[in-house]
A and B are shown apart, each in its own frame.
Chain A
Amino acid sequence: MSSAVHAQAPQPGPDATSTADDLLVVRGLTKRFGGLVANRDVDFDVPRRGIISLIGPNGAGKTTFFNQLTGMMPPTGGTITFNGVNLVGLPPHAIVELGIGRTYQNIRLFNDMTVLANVMVGRHARMKSQWYEAIFHLPKVRDEEELTRGRARELLELVGLSRRYEDSLARNLPYGDQRRLELARALASDPLLLLLDEPTAGMNPGETARMTEFIGRLRKELGLSILLIEHDMKVVMGVSDRITVLDYGERIAEGRPEEIRRNPKVIEAYLGKQANA
């Protein structure tokens, strides 16, 4: 994977600590579903080129948090500032254009489209040809189409999907390859921030190790910032700069991995009161 492919990625900066120039700044984010509070007053930062993990027991509100970042759900209150732009109220496609890409906990590919088409759809936000241009087959439409196809193939190669799969349907890929394809689709929109929702769920230890290593490479080679929801503590501890812990929708801890590991509140949330007593 050459760096030329990702020309607009930000330059390597100083190592991640919270600064005013953070890529993503979330303040007081709250989401209510009727009486249920899925996120309460969550503050959250992702520094540029940072890898931040979001952990917490099932139902802690992690995926809801993701859905608000990507515009799929409107927050009840609070602000989300990405790269200096307020995201609250923006539709999902506008947020993709600003540079947030995501994957899903339960893989959501366009199952009946080909592998290559899936990645090319991911590139949609970065393409410019309009329908009236497409009708007339303008040369610039054809050129853009070719360029996109080439770019999509590069991405498939980057995530390690073999060329011979590119014309088969997404749903016929083995599970691990589907995860890889979802990643390629998310990367196709040239994101600055990548949201990964349990990228190693359902993977065997070998695949998990490769995915962990790959996440590290994404930062190093593409200069991406990554926000990770993950249950596998080996992955979380191994790859994250900082970790935020949610429980019942509230942030109960934030810190470096070794701090989180020892935090009594975190241990309680995961193991219950008895274990802490």
Chain B
Amino acid sequence: MNEPTLGRFYLRALGLGALGAVVVIYLALIGMIDRFEARNIINGVLTLGVLAPALGVLIFAYRSTQPPKAWSFVPPAGHVIGAGLLAGGVAGLISAAFLFVNEAVALNAVLVNATPRMTDALTLGAGLPTGAALLVGAGLVVGLGAAALRLVPDRFRRPLVAALVAVLLLSLMEPFLRVVLLQLELPAIAHWLYEAGGLTLQGAIVTFIVVLAVRLAAEFRGNAVRERVDAMPAGQRRSLQIGALVAGLVILVLLPQIIGSFLSEVVGTVGLYVLMGLGLNIVVGYAGLLDLGYVAFFAIGAYATAILTSPVSALGSELAFWVAIPIVMLIAAVSGLIIGAPVLRLRGDYLAIVTLGIGEIVRILLLSDALRPWTGGAQGILQIPPPQLLDIEFFRPQNLYYPILAFAIAGTFVALSLANSRVGRAWNAMREDEDVAAATGINVTNYKLLAFSLGAVFGCIAGAFLAVKLGSIFPHNLNILVSITVLSLIILGGMGSIPGVIVGAFVLVGLPELLREFAEYRLLIYGAVLVMMMLWRPEGLIPSAQRRRELHESEDDEEQWDERVGAGTPPPVVEGT
């Protein structure tokens, strides 16, 4: 170790600490800390308003304790702690300085949230100057925590982080889990675990210990369950898979009865986004056609359903939902062709821009006077009847859930089947290199149109359910944000991955409905989540096997090479493209 490197190491920690302070100040200025104070994580111990800035600083402090690989410098424990303390301390110090500046200059003339209330939120009501010391102290504690986390051996750190995350998730899921527990008639557990919107202290401690113990056991004994499953004969493993599938289905079928009306409504909305995600995933994930105007199909589906079924529509056909759905799907497929045809020759960015425009055109058309007799302009179309099957009216969220679930399962099946076929391969090849795909025998025009059309059908079915879910439909439900949300959930879950679509929809659409505190910051959190995903996990939460390989295989190869030959030997150079 040489001195200049050590200096650089601390300088880097200083910089990262300053970045941590920027995060804290930003959160304070947008009023997030103040609002989050109201949300308990662990009742009486920790609120979200404390946790959010602390986590921001922790991430930077943790990063500061390990120099970049290229420096080939491993700091000894003393310096790791030093760097953590420095980063955390600097973050606290700058935040405190910001509060003093705010008091002296009255920033709230420009920044509406820079009020004494913000100072109180950030200093837990201690005020200045006591609060300043508190902030610095808190920074140092967080920095120490970051260093400790770095110094703990891997096999302890992973369970530790898992246990902390489990506590956090369990607490954030309170609105959902508490209702489920009460519906399951387990009020004792609900009261023992939750209190005043957060976990109780004993609930948090027990959760932490249980998760920690389980994960530690997994680290030290290997993953016993997985090993036993792997060791099973193929037939037995297959019956186990089928058993898991059936169990999952049973839970899905019983779900709305357990979670009640409001949560069923939320899950129904998630289902719509799962459908759209599956559709857009075909277009973007498989075929590689970046479509930013996917809301167009959502809108077409919703309005087609409304016009076909509503008694007040100009058409006056008043079809039943189940009669209308096949017609809507047909309209969807044709609209996919109509929108797909003019953009066939466009690639990449150009395609994205044009489809973005198409999405807007559809929305503006729906608002326009020209189509007013049909679409009702800004007044939209009302009195869309709910679907009916025999005597059951799918009106309540708990009932409407079932047709949505059925279509989502069917859609998953269709998407999976296509992905693992000649068609899916052709789409992938097209995504990789359109010219070569054509010269390898793929009719690029047809396959692009097929992707657009199938995607459109998924989008239109989702739109049809939106129409019957709301009972009325207006252009303002159908804005660009829908396109962006669907694309974001695909990116979050993992391009080309169907489980990813489902998880992405739950995280991006379901969670904000549950976490009311976040509603106001929804877009900010989308943005932050996407940036973090791109930096740390570009393949998404649940990547398809292929994407995982794309992004990590070459790294693995290098690591394997290091293991075989010993570090320091450069891996073999792969020439060519």
A126 to B414, CA, bound (A): 23
Closest to A95 in B: B439
Per-position 1/0 for B414-444, Cβ under 8 A of A: 1001100111011011001101111111111
Closest to A112 in B: B550
Task: State the Cβ distance, A147 to closest chain B Cβ, in Å.
Answer: 12
Which residues of chain A have C-beta atoms less than 8 A from B461's C-beta?
A: none
Which residues of chain A have C-beta atoms less than 8 A from B130's C-beta?
A: none
Q: Which of A91, A108, A125, A126 contacts B436 (CB 8 A)?
A: A108
A146 within 8 A of B: no
B575 within 8 A of A: yes
B393 within 8 A of A: no
The answer to whether B546 touches A104 (Cβ under 8 A) is no
Task: State the Cβ distance, B36 to closest chain A Cβ, in Å.
Answer: 41
B577 within 8 A of A: yes
Q: What is the size, in residues, of chain B's interface with A at 8 Å between Cβ atoms?
A: 36
Also in contact, A189 and B441, with CB within 8 A (given A175-B575, A202-B575):
yes
Task: State the Cβ distance, A67 to closest chain B Cβ, in Å.
Answer: 9
Closest to A136 in B: B417
A57 within 8 A of B: no
Q: Which of A122, A144, A174 contacts B441 (CB 8 A)?
A: A122
Also in contact, A134 and B574, with CB within 8 A (given A91-B443, A93-B443):
no
Which residue, B421, B439, B575, has most C-beta atoms of chain A within 10 A?
A: B439
Which of the candidate stretches A33-41, A76-84, A165-173, A249-257 sits at the interface with the other chain? A165-173
Also in contact, A120 and B425, with CB within 8 A (given A71-B439, A108-B433, A135-B414):
yes
Also in contact, A141 and B441, with CB within 8 A (given A106-B577, A135-B414):
no
The answer to whether B428 touches A102 (Cβ under 8 A) is no
- CB within 8 Å of A: which B526-577 residues: 546, 549-550, 553-554, 557, 572, 574-577
B450 within 8 A of A: yes
The answer to whether A113 touches B429 (Cβ under 8 A) is yes
A169 to B417, CA, bound (A): 22
A118 to B54, CA, bound (A): 48
A111 to B444, CA, bound (A): 18
- CB within 8 Å of B: which A99-143 residues: 102, 104, 106-114, 117, 120-122, 124-127, 129, 131, 134-137, 141
Which residues of chain A have C-beta atoms less than 8 A from B575's C-beta?
A: 174-175, 202
The answer to whether A110 touches B436 (Cβ under 8 A) is yes
The answer to whether A137 touches B417 (Cβ under 8 A) is yes
Closest to B577 in A: A107
The answer to whether A125 touches B429 (Cβ under 8 A) is no
The answer to whether A117 touches B550 (Cβ under 8 A) is no
The answer to whether A111 touches B438 (Cβ under 8 A) is no
Task: State the Cβ distance, B26 to closest chain A Cβ, in Å.
Answer: 37
Q: Which of A70, A93, A122, A131 contacts B423 (CB 8 A)?
A: A131
A148 to B425, CA, bound (A): 12
The answer to whether B554 touches A72 (Cβ under 8 A) is no
The answer to whether B572 touches A125 (Cβ under 8 A) is no
Task: State the Cβ distance, B137 to closest chain A Cβ, in Å.
Answer: 50
A96 within 8 A of B: yes
Also in contact, A117 and B428, with CB within 8 A (given A70-B439, A175-B575):
yes
Q: Which of A72, A117, A172, A185 contacts B438 (CB 8 A)?
A: A72
Task: State the Cβ distance, B157 to closest chain A Cβ, in Å.
Answer: 30
Which residues of chain B have C-beta atoms less than 8 A from A169's C-beta?
A: 549-550, 553
The answer to whether B440 touches A124 (Cβ under 8 A) is yes
Also in contact, A96 and B549, with CB within 8 A (given A113-B429, A135-B418, A137-B417):
no
A120 to B423, CA, bound (A): 11
A178 within 8 A of B: yes
Task: State the Cβ distance, A57 to closest chain B Cβ, in Å.
Answer: 24
Which residues of chain A have C-beta atoms less than 8 A from B435's C-beta?
A: 72, 92, 108
A163 to B440, CA, bound (A): 23
Which residues of chain A have C-beta atoms less than 8 A from B450's C-beta?
A: 131
A232 within 8 A of B: no
Which residues of chain A have C-beta atoms less than 8 A from B436's C-beta?
A: 104, 108, 110
Instruction: Show the binding face of B for A, using Cβ within 8 Å.
Output: 414, 417-418, 421-423, 425-426, 428-429, 432-433, 435-445, 450, 454, 546, 549-550, 553-554, 557, 572, 574-577
Q: Can you list 5 A-B pairs with a CB-CB distance of less than 8 A?
A: A96-B439, A107-B576, A108-B435, A121-B426, A172-B554
Known pairs A72-B438, A121-B429; list 15 more (Cβ under 8 Å): A72-B435, A91-B443, A106-B576, A106-B577, A107-B577, A109-B577, A111-B577, A114-B549, A117-B425, A124-B441, A131-B418, A134-B422, A172-B554, A173-B574, A174-B574
Please provide the 8 A-B residue pairs with the shortest distance between their CB atoms, ordered closest to farther. Answer: A125-B441, A96-B441, A134-B421, A110-B432, A92-B438, A175-B575, A92-B439, A112-B550
